[in-house]
């Protein structure tokens, strides 16, 4: 029997919503600029986990020789394949889940997770997989949302996490702390900074983000 974390990720309603929301957020929410910062300076072989509809693909720099993009959700994977055709670097879109990456060990120079660790079923297991597939000294680039704001916002985030948010938003959680999780998984934190998305305007429960890098020790 398949383990729960190996089972297919099937969120058709979320997939349809995200396909629209992510395109609007790219320009109106300023996410395109943030994706440039997330991926700037990358080179060599990259694995992107939970690639969604492929919004990062057009932002990879030319020094990237290949992106293997893992996406478990069928509709989003289809859209990612279309985005891959428009990308300037070679992108191979592959089904799979982050908890059991269908790739060889130590095969990648960098791994990218953007707005994904909130949704996976088992964060420590996913980070263990990223350690496995990165070469020693390889880098994780991350853009993730998490807990933030004042007491009222944090209370709201916790309440939403316990109730409607995960079932309504494709398994997303609002209170996961990516920086602590990376440290606990044995990564060495590189530079990171807290940002809010969108930068201007009202703060939403998913506005509190962290953007940065971490290294797999040799």
**What does the binding site for ligand SAM look like in residue numbers (CB under 6 A)?**
9, 18, 22, 49-52, 55-56, 70-73, 76, 97-99, 114-116, 119-121, 170-171
CA distances from 5 to 1, 52, 69, 143, 177 (A): 11, 18, 18, 22, 20
Planar angle of CA 129, 103, 130, nearest 5 degrees: 20
CB of 98 to ligand SAM, least distance (A): 3
Could you give the CA distance from residue 204 to residue 183 in angstroms, rounded to a whole number? 26
SS (H, E, C) 113-170: EECCCCCCCCHHHHHHHHHHHEEEEEEEEEEEECCCCCHHHHHHHHHHHHCCHHHHCC
CB of 23 to ligand SAM, least distance (A): 10
Q: Which residue is nearest to ligand SAM (CB)?
A: 52
Could you give the CA distance from residue 80 to residue 142 in angstroms, rounded to a whole number? 19
Could you give the CA distance from residue 183 to residue 214 in angstroms, rounded to a whole number? 9
Could you give the CA distance from residue 143 to residue 3 in angstroms, rounded to a whole number? 28
| Cβ atoms of residues 71 and 80 within 8 Å | yes
- Pick between residue 73 and residue 161 the one whose CB is nearest to ligand SAM: 73
- Pick between residue 97 and residue 160 the one whose CB is nearest to ligand SAM: 97
Backbone angles phi and psi of 10, in degrees to 5: -130, 100
- Pick between residue 188 and residue 204 the one whose CB is nearest to ligand SAM: 204
């Amino acid at each position: 029997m398949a383990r729960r974390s190996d089972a297919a990720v099937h969120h058709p309603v979320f997939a349809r919503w995200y396909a629209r929301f992510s395109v609007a957020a790219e320009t109106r929410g300023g996410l395109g600029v943030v994706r440039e910062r997330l991926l700037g300076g990358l080179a060599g072989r990259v694995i992107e986990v939970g690639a969604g509809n492929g919004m990062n693909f057009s932002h990879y720099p030319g020094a990237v020789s290949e992106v293997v993009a893992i996406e478990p959700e069928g509709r989003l994977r289809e859209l990612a394949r279309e985005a891959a055709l428009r990308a300037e670097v070679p992108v191979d879109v592959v089904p799979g889940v982050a908890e059991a990456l269908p790739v060889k060990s130590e095969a990648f120079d960098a791994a990218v997770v953007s707005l994904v660790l909130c949704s996976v079923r088992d964060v420590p297991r996913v980070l263990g997989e990223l350690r496995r597939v990165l070469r020693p000294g390889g880098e994780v680039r991350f853009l993730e949302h998490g807990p933030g704001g004042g007491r009222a916002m944090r209370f709201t985030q916790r309440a939403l996490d316990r109730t409607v948010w995960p079932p309504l938003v494709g398994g997303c959680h609002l209170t996961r702390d990516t920086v602590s999780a990376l440290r606990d998984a044995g990564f060495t934190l590189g530079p990171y900074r807290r940002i809010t998305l969108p930068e201007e305007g009202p703060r939403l429960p998913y506005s509190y983000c962290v953007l940065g890098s971490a290294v797999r020790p040799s």
